[in-house]
Structure 1
Amino acid sequence: MTHCVPFTVKTGAMKRRWSDTLEGECSDGKWRRFQHPLVQTAFMFLGEFLCFITVFIYKGIFSFLRRRGQMSAEDENILTRGEFELSPLRLFLPAALDVIASIMLLTGLYLTYVSSFQMLRVAALIFVGIFSAIHLNQTLSARHWMAMFTISCGIMVILSIDVQRVGYDRFLLPNWDSNAVLTGNLLVLCAQIFHAGKYVYEEKFLKGTNIPTMLVTGWQGVFGLLITILVGVCLNFLPSPVPLNHNSRGVFDDLGDVLPQLRSNPTLWAPLIIFIFSSALYNFTSLTIIKYSSSANRLLADGLRVLIIWWMAFMLEWEMFNFITVMGFIILQMGTVAYRNAIFIEWYRSLIASVMRRRYADLSNDTGNDNGEPGVSTNRPADAI
């Protein structure tokens, strides 16, 4: 299950970036990039809504088999195992948080580098740790705080190098402006606050009930789709500054350009369709990990996603190789590993234990006599600790 998370995250991020690079003819006759964060968010929740349909299809199949007297493993199937009685409105809040975070993420992805987009998402671990300590009564030890500080240092490295490399690495950037890239990075960071709140709420909800995660994913898709439609109607008329107004009417998201762009460039359907199914799988696996583990482990499960996406962006020539970016990635991974386990403390303890064993072995040799029998130890200076 944990192996599905980095795969689906990698697929979702790359497909969203792919759709951002494709162009289509807008309603005013000009060809522009497919910059529609609201439409992409709606497709994401459409994928979650498919989980809602899937779980009831499975439920109907098991009911049909039971009526025919055949063996049914409904209670053992991960898709239908659990109780189906719940208050759907309890899932309205995480869906609303997901809508806000997704719109900010997709807008930030359009403005910045895809590798930086993925690296900055590690910041969610900081907010998850803080929110878990507040709402789930989890204890944060010294190593957790040290890991958060290390992750913060890595984020500062990424932010600083992105502002500098705009001058020479700007192949897919819509605006060759360091302020636009910094705005995209800050949007990604702010989105992690909402995502962290969503993860902690889901953990508290799922561990207090026995509801199938597929059903929870489906209800979030229902509410998320409705909220996105309402927000989309408002943002369709909201005037926006450069670089957020690359459409026919200069608004945040011109929904009137969507169908003309899809008709003029059918290739746009490919990343959107893949994004629908990858979003469904990603959210289902994420909720399953949260239910049986924790929201922090859900973020740690996709630790390889940053390296994979950075490598793919480099191979596709979307970005240029930058040594400072690699250093930022290493610092982020050090913080992630330290949060998962006190690996550096374990190394220190192992080193101290090996030194003490060597000292005791030397002491045992010194206290023995020539016949190999134990003797009286000689006076020796005390070990300084």
Structure 2
Amino acid sequence: MQCVRNCDSPDPKERKTFEQPVIQTAQMFIGEMGCWIVIFISYMYHRYVSSRFSHEPTPLLAGGYHPVSADDRGYDDDEDQTLDGPAVDGHNSKPSVSHDGRINLQGRRILLLAAPACCDLAATTLMNVGLLFVAASIYQMTRGALVLFVGLFSVLFLRRKLYAYQWAALFVVVLGVALVGLAGALFGGDSNKGTTQANTMEVVSNAMMQARDIAQTPEAVKAVIGVLLIAAAQIFTASQFVLEEWILENYEMDPIRVVGWEGIFGFVITIAGMIILYLAVGRTESGRYGYFDAKEGWHQVFTNRAVIISSIFIMISIGGFNFFGLSVTRSVSATSRSTIDTCRTLFIWLVSLVLGWESFKWLQVIGFALLVYGTFLFNDIVRPPLKACLPRDLRDRQELLQEEPIEHM
């Protein structure tokens, strides 16, 4: 947390850190809108540079991105599926259809992207607020429930079929995340040299005694509120993933453009809400320097070098993160995206170890091993430990794959 006020005070309690969850949500959408810069640069390159050397169709960012679709829905070959534009028949017009039968997402249909943008807005804001109330380890453990919500919503609303071993894989992922967070909660205050020699039972006992002592304090109430906010955020995030999968399954648009449009919708809604909350709460005496004091929040952003530099890097990373996440959703599924997304914790942990921000804990190693194994198991990279865990159709498919390939004459 970056200090923004009273930073020279000898009393740490008087120092105020940057706590602006609404502004951080707006920064996230600014990062997503940054995708339009990439789209514009790509357009200019293919328009004025690449066109001089080649007349081949433009790739990826200029409308040529055609991911592999696992959709096996049938379409009538007699239907008019115009690729270059809307087909006009008298007074009736049909929407243009892509090569794989999906309707091009254009015109008023772009407003569909406002739904996942609203879910992203709610989820990010709730998680930012919840993180102010709980430790990072508790935050991480609560976030692990995301994969279960995404799996459940995919089955309920997208009619996906998850086998028993895939549900087991999701629970393994949640268990791995929980162990990682538990290790941070139990050993977070230990030094590097004392962590590996700590008595686990003694630490657990001390933690239970401390929890019993503060159970009736406001800190305990804050922790409960923080956990509930983060858990609610996972429901919104799961809704966002499932909505994006449904949209990309039925409509055609480059993932980078989807991120750009979601950024526009989310930013407009966030700014509107920010103005309303500032007028209603932020400018009052009790709301001064609070979460809804947008004037003070933006002042802190632009007058603190550390805050603005970290904000720029966060915005850049969020734009790329959402683009790659949507690409995974389009090519595989929202549930696979959520399991892969959870593995971010592993890379963050490795970088933190290298930079000296984290100390090595064996319990985290076990948690990350379960996390990676559950992700690989769900995405069929590794097989279940027992062949009987596989459904009959998958077992038959594996037996056929082990035989010699059939040559067609």
Q: Provide TM-score, normalisation by structure 1.
A: 0.68
Counterparts in 2 of 1:335 and 1:178: CA distance versus 1, 3 Å: farther
Alignment of 1:104-253 (within 5 A): 104-153=126-175, 177-236=219-278, 249=288, 251-253=290-292
Counterparts in 2 of 1:53 and 1:308: CA distance versus 1, 3 Å: closer
List alignment gaps of at least 5 residues for structure 2.
66-103, 192-216, 390-409
Instruction: List per-residue Cα deviations over 1:55-105 (Å, max 9, x = no partner).
Output: 244335434569x76534454234532657352201010100000011012
- Aligned residue type for 1:22: Q
- Aligned residue type for 1:336: T
Native 8 Å contact 1:236 1:252 kept in 2: no
- SS of the aligned residue for 1:71 comes to coil
Alpha-carbon distance in 1 for matches of 2:190, 2:280: 33
- SS of the aligned residue for 2:144 comes to helix
Shift of residue 227, structure 1, vs aligned partner: 1.1
Counterparts in 2 of 1:264 and 1:208: CA distance versus 1, 3 Å: closer
Counterparts in 2 of 1:316 and 1:33: CA distance versus 1, 3 Å: farther
Alpha-carbon distance in 1 for matches of 2:346, 2:190: 22
Asked if 1:85 corresponds to 2:106, the answer is yes
- Aligned residue type for 2:63: T
- SS of the aligned residue for 2:231 comes to helix
Aligned to 2:315: 276
Alpha-carbon distance in 2 for matches of 1:131, 1:38: 27
Alpha-carbon distance in 1 for matches of 2:46, 2:344: 37
- Aligned residue type for 1:85: Q
- SS of the aligned residue for 2:27 comes to helix
Aligned to 2:4: 24
Native 8 Å contact 2:123 2:234 kept in 1: yes
Counterparts in 2 of 1:343 and 1:144: CA distance versus 1, 3 Å: same
Structure 1, 31-40 or 141-150: larger mean CA deviation = 141-150
Instruction: List per-residue Cα deviations over 1:161-187 (Å, max 9, x = no partner).
Output: 777779989xxxxx9934434433332
Q: Provide TM-score, normalisation by structure 2.
A: 0.65
Shift of residue 116, structure 1, vs aligned partner: 4.4
Counterparts in 2 of 1:159 and 1:348: CA distance versus 1, 3 Å: same
Alpha-carbon distance in 2 for matches of 1:239, 1:323: 47
Alpha-carbon distance in 2 for matches of 1:126, 1:113: 22
Native 8 Å contact 1:248 1:257 kept in 2: no
Shift of residue 213, structure 1, vs aligned partner: 1.3
Shift of residue 282, structure 1, vs aligned partner: 0.8
Asked if 1:39 corresponds to 2:18, the answer is no
Native 8 Å contact 1:290 1:298 kept in 2: yes
- SS of the aligned residue for 1:336 comes to helix
Considering only aligned residues, what root-mean-square deviation do their CA atoms show, in Å? Answer: 3.8
Alpha-carbon distance in 1 for matches of 2:361, 2:135: 12
Alpha-carbon distance in 2 for matches of 1:178, 1:168: 22
Shift of residue 52, structure 1, vs aligned partner: 2.4
Native 8 Å contact 1:24 1:260 kept in 2: no
- SS of the aligned residue for 2:251 comes to coil
Aligned to 1:13: none
Of residues 113, 119, 132, the one that matches 1:97 is: 119
Structure 1, 44-53 or 256-265: larger mean CA deviation = 256-265
Aligned to 1:354: none
List alignment gaps of at least 5 residues for structure 1.
1-20, 170-174, 241-246, 351-385
Structure 1, 316-325 or 335-344: larger mean CA deviation = 316-325
Counterparts in 2 of 1:72 and 1:191: CA distance versus 1, 3 Å: farther
Alpha-carbon distance in 1 for matches of 2:187, 2:279: 34
Counterparts in 2 of 1:166 and 1:307: CA distance versus 1, 3 Å: closer
Native 8 Å contact 2:281 2:293 kept in 1: no
Counterparts in 2 of 1:141 and 1:348: CA distance versus 1, 3 Å: closer
Alpha-carbon distance in 1 for matches of 2:359, 2:49: 57
Native 8 Å contact 2:140 2:177 kept in 1: no
Counterparts in 2 of 1:310 and 1:108: CA distance versus 1, 3 Å: farther
Alpha-carbon distance in 1 for matches of 2:319, 2:116: 16
Asked which structure has the greater RCO (Cα within 8 Å, sep 6+), the reply is: 1
Aligned to 1:339: 378
Asked if 1:62 corresponds to 2:46, the answer is yes
Of residues 335, 347, 364, the one that matches 1:296 is: 335
Alpha-carbon distance in 1 for matches of 2:218, 2:352: 18
Amino-acid identity (%): 28
Asked if 1:52 corresponds to 2:51, the answer is no
Alpha-carbon distance in 2 for matches of 1:164, 1:237: 43
Q: For the pair shown, which has the larger CA radius of gyration, 1 or 2? A: 1
Counterparts in 2 of 1:275 and 1:163: CA distance versus 1, 3 Å: closer
Native 8 Å contact 2:137 2:184 kept in 1: no
- SS of the aligned residue for 1:271 comes to helix
Asked if 1:254 corresponds to 2:315, the answer is no
- Aligned residue type for 1:80: G
- Aligned residue type for 1:97: C
